[in-house]
Amino acid sequence: MGPMLKSLGALVISIIAVHSAYIGYIRPEANLALEVARAAGQSAPRDLVVILKDYEQEICLILMLWGVFLILGKCYAILKHRYLFNLDLIEHTAGEKMELPSALKTLEELPEDIRSTPLVRTLMASLRRYLITEHVQDTSDAIESGIEALAVKQEAENSMIRYLIWAIPSIGFIGTVRGIGQALSQADQALAGDIAGMTDSLGVAFNSTLVALLISIALMFLLHQLQRLQDGLIVDTQDYCESFLLNRLSAAVSHETTQED
């Protein structure tokens, strides 16, 4: 299953789970609490179900679950292959040119999920560049290009998460506008002494903003943790390539130069 299908599947599951919770528990309990408060002549209670009962909060919760899935999925993909940085993936390479094709072939024969990791892709591209040019500087340039491409790719993949973090407060603001509009439409009743409708509408306005801001804060925290892992992946990939590949190639070139002299 491709990443796009997994993402859409997670969105569908989030919609079903949140909507089922609203239909089965949150809205019935909220309506019951509001009816009890009205019968007692009291204002709407500040129970959690009452705060979450409106449609804007439901949408925000759906997007929150989807965003959490996207973030945790990326974190898992990074942490899953962290062990590769503790292995010598090109241990058969002693720096001699005749052994480099064998090392490249070994990398190409790795399982697909390992071969598609940024570390292995960067190593394969660097080895191919050296086999073509036989220059260490060109190999270093290939590593730099791979690192830059990885950074751009990660930035692009995070765009949907950033959109969700922007969209959730916007949806909360829509609820705020809707609630204030309803409150203003009931101004005549408030002037007549019945302020229950206006307070309920203002509750819609403030509750939607409250929930949306809290969710966006939580998602932003998770996004920063993801970015920390991604930055660490970039740094570790570059360090690995320099330690296990460039240093060996440089040592081999120096050795060959010494022998020629």
Per-domain residue ranges of the chain: 67-260
Question: In the chain, what's the furthest Cα-to-Cα distance?
Answer: 103
Please state, in angstroms and rounded to a whole number, the distance separating the CA atoms of residues 164 and 155. Answer: 15
Please state, in angstroms and rounded to a whole number, the distance separating the CA atoms of residues 167 and 213. Answer: 11
Collect all residues with Cβ–Cβ distance below 8 Å to 14 and sequence separation of at least 6. 62, 63, 65, 66, 69
* Dihedral pair phi/psi, residue 191, rounded to 5°: -65, -30
| Strand intervals (E) in the chain | none
pTM of the complete model:
0.83
CA angle 61, 225, 150 (to 5 degrees): 110
| Start-end of H helices in 186-246 | 187-191, 196-241
In tens digits, the chain (261 residues) has pLDDT values of 577 888 899 999 999 999 999 999 999 998 898 788 777 767 667 788 888 888 889 999 999 999 999 999 999 999 999 898 888 887 755 444 547 777 888 888 888 888 889 999 988 888 888 888 878 788 888 888 889 988 999 999 899 999 999 999 999 888 888 877 766 666 666 556 555 556 666 667 788 888 999 999 999 999 999 999 999 999 999 998 888 888 777 766 665 555 555
Any idea which residue has 């120096």 for tokens? 254
Please state, in angstroms and rounded to a whole number, the distance separating the CA atoms of residues 216 and 167. Answer: 9
